[in-house]
Structure 1
């Protein structure tokens, strides 16, 4: 028989607790529930004890102080794993997670290790949310996907089901995150460990009683942790330093050109000096870009053959410039967009972005291809346990 435990953290949920327990058992029958109460001053813990005394399916874990959603789930998961439950579910006590979705989440575990209740896939939605909350949730998920390389649409949602063996490997006891960042870190660890993750559409509704625990502190923590974890990834770090080097190269070009035109190559001294000044400034900018990318962006994978690397760098830079020219040509001649605005958008917005992408890819995969750190990291991280990356200053194991 498959044993399932639903972990429900509570803090001042006395008005919601009886109703949510009734709905859970209507949806799942004999499934056990663990209420993890953080010494709620409104009597939620005492009510939980009372309900547990007359229903053997209900268990209560009292914690001495309130230290966040992450701490409550870590304690609840540890309690359930120690008692050999096969599947563990996390959900809110305020009714925002509809227990009617529990059968679908649990059924998804037949083909997956983690089932995520998702508001942002087809069939999912959030009811009664103002625009700013939708933007915050969707934006947070999008930012986490970008920084961490995960693919799930709803990264911050807290209605999830786990197989016990997957949960043991994720090992939430070593996570330090609270709030949204706890949910993000759990999903990231699951993805990095290679677990099968399925998103199940859910309808998220606003709580009926009490007040939301969401705060600016929770949002700030999530943003700070995701940013720090993302910057630890070789790819994200390379993209950011590549942009920085490009900005330095642009500054060298502009400053050098204007200095030359104001001094030794001024219009008064050299009537045709503008072209010469531009050749010099562009040359110096190319050198600055090469040195910056060689010794900063791709420092760990630069090649020993410096001359060949420099030639390949020039060719890759030319490819990037060609991509910008092609974009302008398609816009101006093929599409017939002849206005100054259209030319600027195609050349200096779309073309610049495309050219930069071409340069970054060719630099990373061809020019500076001595010993790619991302690939070395893949080799080493696959041999290491995710637990070795635990701690506030270290992200979970990174794959890719």
Structure 2
């Protein structure tokens, strides 16, 4: 426990969450990984325990706790042999719900945020597009206002919870000629006519549902515009800091999990008459990775502490994701190698962890895009300002 950031209350929460995950989630993981479907009952159990409401106001059923409870939530979810399950939980709670809380009006909060915190409604954030990827400003999905409605046409892809979801938070262009200043954010039920979702087959994150979604003349009430028209891009950019920190925390946690598992394995595995934990080449490689992961964790915690105080940490969050996801991939690669043939077997956690981790440098902005953003900030002295609602 890092006493700089974590109190006894935090540690008690961590132990309670560990116990919950082992009893309620772990027994189902293998089934969900094979079927690619997480059953609805677990969402409601998470809701009953308050896990979806950690960072949200008490007025809507949340607990209004500091962000280090969220850190614990994310870290422990990375240690149960399914990053796909973890992704489904945090994408609901910290991607879709973040927009409900930040840009949703009181009606939206009553009708969507409250049941989302309770685990009775599942949300998905729809930004990436088949032809756009990380190019948010280049999106083609559009929303045309007609009377008291908006008509949405377009498509989104790589959407976590895209099939499970009861509602979507959608980014669409209301004024295409204005570029990124013409993007707005909308809320829509997934049951509306004209919406179709196709599940994608992925290398990893097998338990989570990732979809490509089409919108064909979908009519939504004008009141489902979230925040102000044309402010969608700064809203999205503002929340990217949290998303990137989430991805960074996930990365250092799975790297740490891989290292801890490998140390335990090496302490039991023998070769040439001694435990392989005594071989210098393996020891030195492992401690190098442990050092890198620890560096990332310390940096990530410092960025979280600043974000928790309300600071705009877009640069730090971008750095955190860029570095942590690379470090995790490298650590997990080496850990798998240290298990030898067993590392390649599905019954051991490293094979799945290796596949799941590979999404880290891709999702939430590829490493290449993050380097471009940091280049603009560090070299070109460009500043990114938070949105003002």
Range of TM-score over shorter length:
under 0.3
Report the TM-score, using the length of structure 2 for normalisation: 0.26
More strand by share: 2
Larger Rg: 1
TM-score, normalised with respect to structure 1: 0.25
